Amino acid sequence: MPPPQPRESDALSWIREALRRRGLPGALRYYAAGTLELLRDLTPTRRKSRYSDIDYDFDHGVDTTWATVSLRTRIRELLSEGQYQPTDPVLFDQILNSMPVPVEGFTFLDLGAGKGRTLLMASKYPFRRIIGVEILAELHQAAQQNIVRYRDAQQKCFAIESHAGDARCFRFPAEDLMLYLFNPFPEPVLRQVLANLHDSLLAGPRRIYVIYHNLVHEDVFAEQHWLHPMRRTHQFAIYEAVAQR
């Protein structure tokens, strides 16, 4: 599979995009609110609370916590309008155990994979292969190191890849997919990614399930007539993609 084509992804292009999408007053409001949140996160109490997810890293010899994300990366997160936060391992198992079909033969794909924790957690399951795509190069590099370092006696899938790039430019592989989205994108990006997925499904009908975790833009999913809801809790929803025009 060809790697995703990296889109122009420097700070200036992100700012231009924010201005186009939000207008000047909206962009200024967005950056002001984000900067305030960033400053709040630097307080000792907040910093400490971010380490609450560190057990996973100790257990597996990796670095997937959001506590160690540098200030520079936090600023780049603000500009790219995403924020890294890894999925909780207990919830992840709950989600995979809720899949309506066995995962054998499927490729697990995480768009907005961050430091790659879900790629590692998915490797406990017998997926055909596992792919992550992350827009911030530094998080993608952390994911690559984690893939090498990861140790778990229960690991079943060893074909794991992380790619740097914008999910909007990702070409979906022509294979059965379980697509994982932990609310990674603002609404317009989510719409574009889902439109790309629909086009890919029409071009090559196959089994595709979409997991949406943290249901912030659930209304966007509700508009997609080709995505059939299969399971829903207050934390995640699972859809089956059905090829129809």
Ligand X SMILES: C[S@@+](CC[C@H](N)C(=O)[O-])C[C@H]1O[C@@H](n2cnc3c(N)ncnc32)[C@H](O)[C@@H]1O
Which positions touch ligand X (CB under 6 A)? 77, 80, 82, 84-87, 110-114, 117-118, 133-136, 139, 166-168, 182-185, 189
Q: How far is the CB of 185 from ligand X (least distance, A)?
A: 5
Q: Which C-beta is closer to ligand X: that of 85 or that of 144?
A: 85
Instruction: Please name every residue paired with 134 in a beta bridge, in sequence order, or none if there are none.
Output: 164
Q: Which C-beta is closer to ligand X: that of 121 or that of 208?
A: 121
Q: What are phi and psi of 21, to 5 degrees?
A: -80, -40
Which 3 state secondary structure label does DSSP give 108? strand
What is the CA 219 to chain-centroid distance, rounded? 18
Q: How far is the CB of 187 from ligand X (least distance, A)?
A: 12
Q: How far is the CB of 78 from ligand X (least distance, A)?
A: 11
Q: How far is the CB of 83 from ligand X (least distance, A)?
A: 6
Which 3 state secondary structure label does DSSP give 119? helix
Q: What are phi and psi of 149, to 5 degrees?
A: -80, -25
Q: How far is the CB of 245 from ligand X (least distance, A)?
A: 27
DSSP type of residue 180 = E
Q: How far is the CB of 43 from ligand X (least distance, A)?
A: 21
What is the CA 160 to chain-centroid distance, rounded? 15
Distance CA 204, CA 162 (A): 24
Return the CA Rg of the chain: 18
CB neighbours of residue 233 within 10 Å:
13
Crossing angle of helices 137-149 and 71-80, rounded to 10°: 120
* 211 neighbors 180 (Cβ within 8 angstroms): yes
